[in-house]
Structure 1
Amino acid sequence: MITVEHLTKGYGAVTAVDDVSFECVPGTVTGFLGPNGAGKSTTMRMICGLTPPTSGGSTVNGVAFRDLPNPGRHIGVLLDASAQHAGRTGREVLGLSARLLGVSQQRVTEMLELVGLAGPAEKRRVGNYSLGMRQRLGLAHALLGDPTVLMLDEPANGLDPEGIYWMRSVLRDFADRGGTVMLSSHLLREVEAVADHLVVIGNGKIVADGAKDELLHSGGLYVRGLATDALEKVLVDAGLSSQPTRDGGFAVAGDAETVGRAAAAAGIVLLELRPADSGGLEEMFLRLTSNDSRKDAA
């Protein structure tokens, strides 16, 4: 289990992560989403002790990362698949970590087989690996200590479609056996396919946190009228949050009666007024983060 409580990180006048709180619970895959510069990587680095927070804190299975005895036996971390010794072979990378973690070399063999690097690939130097192969090795490294928690940043980057499907199956199986998975990725369709829970961050703040099915089906209303510009003004004057859609309508956060009365009072003919269709994770992500214009590194 990962617990984050009021986590904040500032760099001078810039607040990269602002009072962030959420949980990743056993038996689930939590998709941790946000645009570039939203604070995802900074949050993950604080959880695993690589970046000290300005305030707040986090725990893994109830213990701060720095206080975990042999942390790799509790949480497997993959933040950068390229951060591996290029001159060592795949087996050597895992073999050295196995000694540090206190696990057997048989576990190394099992992990190489799991990620599809057993055989000739394990004898190649990591510097000659493709990005997809380094991702597989990174996942093997995260799983090496048989942890109960996984925290992965862009683990499917560089994988082909078959590899992405394989990665999804591994993470789903890990969670179904009672493990906790925190997954950050820009591949929204893959996150939607595997995640149970979603946490969305924008401008350093949590903008959505809940079960995937609940968040994806809370789309508000869709309204479309004969006079598009006039309808937009009416919605603004009524204090209703709205966003234009590609077909000339509006996605509105509000109730149907308020929208209908506002349009009627302005003499606007409505062509449609109904619950909005769920456009999936991609539409929800764009709607929640459309104002996040920060481009600094997360």
Structure 2
Amino acid sequence: MITVENLTKRYGGFTAVDDISFEVRPGSVVGFLGPNGAGKSTAMRMMTGLTPATSGRSTVLGKPYRDLHNPGRQVGVMLDASAQHPGRTGREVLRLAAIQIGVPKSRVDEALAIVGLTEEEAGRRVRNYSLGMRQRLGLASALLGEPEVLILDEPANGLDPQGIHWMRGLLRGFADGGGTVLLSSHLLHEVQVIADDLVMIGRGQIVAMGTKDELLSRGGTTVRSTNDEALYAALSRAEVSVTSVPSGLVVDAEPGVVGQIALDERIVLLELRSGGSEGLEEMFLSLTASTSREGTAA
């Protein structure tokens, strides 16, 4: 269980994380979604005791992270896969971690096998690893202590499609076995397949959260026409909520209603579809469009 209550982080006059609250329950995967600079990484650093909160609190397994007896055995954390000694081999990185958290050397081989790093790859210096291999090594470190909770920041960066498919299966299996997974990403499709719940954040604030099915049902109708400006005006006159997005319009109404309004206005439709994953993505983009702050706090 991860519990976040009114968590806030300010740096002088800049608010990186602004009064966020949510829970991650055992047996579930929660996707923590937001554009670059939304505050995801800062929030995770506060959850894991690396950054002090300005106000609010977070607990993991009922306690602040710093109060856990042996955090490495209870919580698997991967916040920066590149933060590994480049001169050590992958196996050496894991052996040192095993000593620190008190697990037997045999667990190193098990962790390497879980993440699919071969004997030859484990013997290479980390400086010679690809980004995808570093991600796998970071996951091996997180899983080394057989934790109950995983907190992972952008774990699919650098993985090829096969690697992303593998990671989804790994994390889904971990949650199905009773584990708790908090998974951050700025890419919706990366986590949508495995996530049970979604928390969407923009400019440090939660803009939407709920179960995946709830948010999918809120995806609305996506429509694209030969004259989106005129269609937007017609929908607004009909008192239908509508948002303009790069791919067209997202409308809070059934496709039949949208189609009838377009017909009445003699506007030719090029695309008309209900919610689903695409609608969820458009909703996410519209919710975070005004709160994106690319290039500031992560």
Counterpart CA distance in 2 for 1:128 and 1:275 is: 46
Aligned residue for 2:216? Answer: 216
Partner AA of 2:215 in structure 1: L
2:84 matched to 1:88? no
Partner AA of 1:2 in structure 2: I
Q: Deviations over 1:76-128 (max 9, x none)?
A: 00011110011111111111111111110011111111112241111111111
Partner AA of 1:218 in structure 2: R
Counterpart CA distance in 1 for 2:187 and 2:230 is: 37
Task: Note the C-alpha offset of 1:187.
Answer: 3.6
Partner AA of 2:293 in structure 1: R
Task: Note the C-alpha offset of 1:221.
Answer: 4.9
Aligned residue for 1:293? Answer: 292
- TM-score, structure 1 normalization: 0.87
Partner AA of 1:176 in structure 2: D
Moved more, 39-48 or 274-283: 274-283
Counterpart CA distance in 2 for 1:228 and 1:189 is: 26
Counterpart CA distance in 2 for 1:242 and 1:2 is: 35
Aligned residue for 2:37? Answer: 37
Aligned residue for 1:121? Answer: 121
Aligned residue for 2:47? Answer: 47
Partner AA of 1:105 in structure 2: K
Aligned residue for 1:107? Answer: 107
Equivalent residues, number? 293
Query: What SS does structure 2 have at the residue aligned with 1:6?
Result: strand
Tell me, yes or no, if the aligned pair for 1:225 and 1:268 is still in contact at 8 Å: no
Moved more, 239-248 or 20-29: 239-248
Q: Deviations over 1:186-228 (max 9, x none)?
A: 3422211111110000111111111111101212356789985
Task: Note the C-alpha offset of 1:130.
Answer: 1.2
Partner AA of 2:285 in structure 1: L
Query: What SS does structure 2 have at the residue aligned with 1:191?
Result: helix
Partner AA of 1:216 in structure 2: L
1:21-32 pair list within 5 angstroms = 21-32=21-32
Tell me, yes or no, if the aligned pair for 2:250 and 2:279 is still in contact at 8 Å: no
* Structure-2 change in CA distance of 1:48 and 1:268 (3 Å): same
Aligned residue for 2:250? Answer: 251
* Structure-2 change in CA distance of 1:123 and 1:215 (3 Å): same
Counterpart CA distance in 2 for 1:247 and 1:100 is: 50
1:133-152 pair list within 5 angstroms = 133-152=133-152
Aligned residue for 2:162? Answer: 162
2:171 matched to 1:182? no
Q: Unaligned regions of 5+ residues in structure 2, if any?
A: none
- TM-score, structure 2 normalization: 0.87
Task: Note the C-alpha offset of 1:69.
Answer: 0.7
Q: Deviations over 1:125-158 (max 9, x none)?
A: 1111111111111000000111100011111111
Moved more, 223-232 or 164-173: 223-232
Query: What SS does structure 1 have at the residue aligned with 2:193?
Result: helix
Tell me, yes or no, if the aligned pair for 1:224 and 1:270 is still in contact at 8 Å: no
* Structure-2 change in CA distance of 1:175 and 1:72 (3 Å): same
Counterpart CA distance in 2 for 1:283 and 1:227 is: 19
Tell me, yes or no, if the aligned pair for 2:9 and 2:16 is still in contact at 8 Å: yes
Q: Deviations over 1:39-71 (max 9, x none)?
A: 101100000011111100100011000111111
Aligned residue for 2:130? Answer: 130
